[in-house]
Structure formats: C-alpha cells, structure tokens
Amino acid sequence: MGDQEKQYSTNHRKIALALSIIPGFGQFYNKQWMKGLGFFILTASFFIAFSDLIQFGFWGLVTLGTDPTYDHSITLLVEGILTVIVTVLGLAVYILNLRDAFKVGKQRDLNVAPNSIRQQYQNLVGGGFPYLMMTPGFLLLIFVVIFPILFVILLSFTNYNLYNSPPANLVDWIGFQNFLDIFQIPIWRETFFSVLAWTVIWTFGATTLQIALGIFLAVLMNQKEIKFQKIIRTIFILPWAVPAFVSILVFAGMFNETFGTINNDILALFGLEDTPWMTDPAYTKFALIMIQTWLGFPFIFAMVTGVLQSIPNELYEAADVDGATIMQKFKNITLPLVLYATAPIMITQYTFNFNNFNVIFLFNGGGPAVAGQNAGGTDILISWIYNLTMTSAQYGKAAAITMILSLIVITVALWQFRRTKSFQEEDMM
C-alpha cells in the first residue's frame, strides 16, 4: 500500500469519498454533474418518501407496539419488515455512491479523465444492461417471496395466538419459546413425531413408487417391438391432464366403503368388499400412496421417455456385442443415463410430496381418527399445521412448525443436490 500511495500526486479519491457522505457531492467534486444530481435526487426522494416509515418502522419492529388502542402489532411487524428491506436497499445505493466517488477519484489521481456523460450512458447500457433488466423482477421477488419468508420467520418468535391478537391485545417477542414448547409439551411432542414418521414414509413410499413406475413404463414403451406406441403413450399421460384435485375427489368417492366402486365392483370379485379404506389408517395410507403414484407417474414417464430417445444406440449395440443381458443393459446404461439427466427433478418430486397437502386433505381430511393424538391417522406435517392454525389460532406456533418443516426440506434437498452428479462439473458421456 505504502508504495502505491506515493504514486498519487493528488488526493481526489479521498476527498471525493468524504464528500460522498452526502450522496452526489463526491460526484460533483469529480465534475460528474448529471450522475451527482441523480444520486442526490435519489437520496432526497428516499428520505422524503420513507422518513415516516423508517422513523417508526424500527421502533415498531422492536416493540411490536406499546398501546393496543393505537398499535396493531401485526401491521407494525409488516411495516418493520418493509423498513428493513427499504433500509437495506437504501444502504446498497449509498454504498454504490461511495464506491463510485472513490473509483472516479482514483481515476483522477491516476490522471485518467473521468467518463463523460455519453460514456457513462454507454457503460450503463452496455455493462449494466442485464442488471437493469433484472431489477423490476428482482424487486418484485423481494416483496412477493422474501417478504413473506421474513414474516413467517419473525412470526415464529412471537406469541401471536388468539389471546394476543390485535386489535384488542399486543403481540410480543418470546424468543425460542414456541420451538421449546413443541418438544417439551407431551401431547405436541408425541403428535409431532408420529406425524413426522408418517410424513417420511409417505414421502419415500409415494415418490419412489411413482418414479419407479414412470421409469418402468417409459422403458417398456421405448422397446421397438411394441406397436401403437403413440396411442399407449398418450393414454399414460392422461392422468396428468386431469386436474389433480378432480382426480382426488373422484378417488375419494370410489374408495367409499359402502358405495364406492372399488369395494362394490372390483374387490367384490375377489370377495373383499368390506375393505375399510376410509376408517382404518393402514388402508387409508395404502390408498393414498397408490393415488399419488397414479397422479405422479405420468410426469416422470413423459420426462424419461424424452431422455431415453436421446441415448445413443451405439451404447446398446456395444453392450450386445459384449453379450450383456437385458438387466445388465438397463442397470449399467439406461438407469445411470436417465438418472443423470433427471435427478434434480426427481429430488424435487420428493420435496413436493413432503408438502403434498392436496392429496391428504382432499382424500380423507387427514383421517381416519387415531386414539391418543391430536392429528388424524394420515395427517402429514403440512396438513397438521393447517388444522392447528385453523382450529386453534396458534399462529406463532404454526409458524415455528413451518420453520422446522422448511429446515428439514431445505437440508435434505441441499444434501441430495450436492451429491447428485448433474451438479458436478464432470461429463458423464
């Protein structure tokens, strides 16, 4: 550093940086009038527009209100999050301003002429164009995605429930109490773990089956000997074309124990017409996994069919020459290539089923009842959270369980993604 400092005969960069504490003035000092004016107007309008929000936003976020007659804790929480987002955006522009003044000052110190307005414009349009195009979408994402996530995270540290609901009362910060309660209060702990266990079985059972069936049918349909391939393929895609909730409701009717066609027409042929599909948890679980397999396999089937057609035939010919059996060919050529191309999507299928609310809720509402716990026999975490929130108004606690659930999904997804070959640089072919 010492050697470098000596090279500068002037000190424009430091002066520009110091002046930039009031945004725009550093640029004025560098004689970049338009840019300076831009920064100055931006800052001024920022303070004019947001001064109220920033003034009370942090106060609201920290206290969540002090007097229920005037303060609505949830509104304050929302405004607080907005304040944080706005402040971060403001600081980003401010840092950009400092950095710009310093950089241009340094250029002047090195006796390089600063960019003219025309050059600045070209820089902006040339180098900054992708960023410029991204900005509206990015801002939208901040408010549509990041904002609700922050809201749930913060909510899980509050005691927001029926008795602390605004406008009559205030919500307070309670730290990790919600999380501790879930693991310490027996009825919640027991229900949590039994629901978690079924959620895991459900996720792996249903997803693995739908993937296996999809791949099996795709490979089968890809054999050259099979006729009417197009018609059969179309039929296999059909379950995908019907909206899932319609299929589920139809299935719920078909599985009805007394009037449903499954018991009355199909199983009656085998003398099994009294199967308790809706009233015995084990049977309901079995039916649910079968239904999800039905709903989910066409997507895998369609995707794998596409991949199969891109596998070069030479690989199979070479295998034939080496005398490989069908199973060997499948195990060593087809499966690795299919999984290589589709693994990320397969993993998202697992995370999707982990939170597959529709099937559980529409088929039997999480039922049938099980003695000794406050969730139904087929409730998965997400449908249990739904019931907890809707019947007990335990918003804070539901947010805490949501956090635990997200943590599980994120961890598993990240771990699997990292292990997947698709995300490593090496080439498979």
Binding site for another protein (CB under 8 A): 54-59, 61-63, 66-68, 70, 72, 75, 161-169, 185, 187-188, 252-253, 256-260, 276, 278-279, 364-365, 367-372, 374, 376, 387, 391-394
Structure token digits, residue 240: 């995908």
Which DSSP letter does residue 330 get?
Answer: I
- Tracing tokens 């025309």 back to the chain, one arrives at 118
| Number of residues that this document lists for the chain | 429
CB of 18 to another protein, least distance (A): 15
CB of 307 to another protein, least distance (A): 39
C-beta closer to another protein: residue 75 or 348: 75
With residues binned 3-state (H G I as helix, E B as strand, rest as coil), the percentages for the chain, rounded to 5, are 75, 0, 25
Three-state secondary-structure class, residue 158: strand
Structure token digits, residue 331: 């195990």
CB of 109 to another protein, least distance (A): 21
* Residue among 107, 17, 118 nearest 25 (CA): 17
C-beta closer to another protein: residue 41 or 369: 369
CB of 56 to another protein, least distance (A): 6
C-beta closer to another protein: residue 126 or 186: 186
Q: Are 176 and 157 a contacting pair, CB within 8 Å?
A: yes
CB of 258 to another protein, least distance (A): 3
DSSP string, 362-375: HHHTT-S--TTSSS
CB of 426 to another protein, least distance (A): 38
C-beta closer to another protein: residue 61 or 206: 61
CB of 229 to another protein, least distance (A): 39
CB of 379 to another protein, least distance (A): 11
Segment (H or E) for 256 = none
Residues 6+ away with beta carbon under 8 Å from 127: none
C-beta closer to another protein: residue 166 or 298: 166
CB of 366 to another protein, least distance (A): 9
How many angstroms separate the CA atoms of 372 and 334, rounded?
48
The CA distances from residue 276 to 28, 251, 287, in Å, are: 81, 15, 11
The CA distances from residue 118 to 36, 114, 123, 124, 414, in Å, are: 15, 11, 9, 10, 46
C-beta closer to another protein: residue 169 or 406: 169
C-beta closer to another protein: residue 166 or 214: 166
Computed on alpha carbons and rounded to an integer, the radius of gyration of the chain in Å comes to 31
- For the beta carbon of residue 287, count every other beta carbon within 10 angstroms: 21
DSSP string, 302-320: HHHHHHHHTS-HHHHHHHH
Residue 127: φ, ψ to 5°: -75, -35
C-beta closer to another protein: residue 43 or 374: 374
C-beta closer to another protein: residue 343 or 370: 370
